[in-house]
Amino acid sequence: MAASTTTHAEQPGLGRRFLIVWIALSIVATPIVVFVLGPHLPPGNGSTEATSQVLDNQLLSGVLTPVAAFVLVFLGFALTTFRNRSGQVLEGPQIRGDNRIQVLWVVITTVTVLFLAAFGTFELFNNDGSGGGQGPSAAFLPSNHSSALDVQVIAQQWEFTYRYPTAGGVETPHLVLPADTLIRLHVTSLDAIHSFWAYQLGVKADANPGTDNVVYVHTNGPRSFQIRCAELCGLWHGYMFDTGHVVAPADFASWLKRQQAVFAPVHKYLPPYATTYFPDPQRRAG
C-alpha cells in the first residue's frame, strides 16, 4: 500500500480558506434566514403568544444557520480538497488532534447553549408563558389576568365543544373569540386524554378528564385558525378538527347572544358548568 506524501504543511492556507468561505456564507445567509424567511415561520401572528414563538424560531434559525453553513462548507472541502485523484489506494497522515480546535469547540458550544437557555428563560417569564397549559394554577400570569375572558374547551371522542361561563354556560360546537382580548382557556376532557391545538394562536394544551388545564392567549386581529387534537385519542382521532374564528368584539357579542337563543332548548340537559368533568360512568367492570 502506497503511503500518502501529502501533508497539511503542503496545503498552505487551507484552514484560512475554509474559515473565509464559512464566515462569508454565514454573513450572507444568516440575515436572509432571520429577516426574510423568519417572519413567515410558524405558527404565525394570530396571538401575542404566537408572535413570541415566531421570534423564538427566528432566533433559533439565526443560531442554526452558521452551524449548518459550517457543516456544508466542511463537507464541500472534504469532497474536493481531500479527494484522491490518483486512482491509488492511499493512506493519509495520522491526525492526533488539535487542542486549540477542541478548546474552541467546547467554548463555542457552551456559550451557545447557555445563551439559548438564558434567552428561553427570559422569554418564558417576559411573555407569561408560551401558549402551553399550566395546570389549574398557572405559574405565569399576565399582568391583567383578572380581566381575562373565560372560555372552556371540552374535549370528547371525537370533537371539541366550548362553554362560555359569562353567557350562562352556553355550549357551542365552534370556537369564536373576540379580537384583541386576553382569553383564559380552561381545557379539560370528558373521556380520554386529548390535546387542544389552536395552531395559528400558538396554543397547545393537554385535555385530561378531571383536570382544569389553564392557558392564556391574547388574540390579535380578526382571522380564522385551525384546531386539531394533537393526542392519539381513539379510532376517529384524525377527524377531530375544526376551524375557529377571531372576530371583532361587537360581532362576538352578537354571535354569543344568537348561540344562547339557539341552544336554549338543550341547555337544561347539560350538566352545570364546572371547571372539571369526569367520565360517565365513573366506574366500569364492577
pLDDT in tens, 167-221: 888 999 999 999 999 999 999 999 889 999 999 999 999 999 989 999 999 999 8
Mean model confidence pLDDT for the chain: 86
pLDDT at 281 over 70: no
When pLDDT is averaged across residues 245-265 and rounded to a whole number, the result is 93
**pTM confidence score:** 0.78
What per-residue confidence (pLDDT) applies to 68?
94
Q: Looking at 16-20, 71-75, 98-102, which range is the least confident one?
A: 98-102
Q: Looking at 22-26, 34-38, 119-123, 159-163, which range is the least confident one?
A: 119-123
What per-residue confidence (pLDDT) applies to 12?
55
| Beta strand pairing call for 159-164 and 170-172 | antiparallel
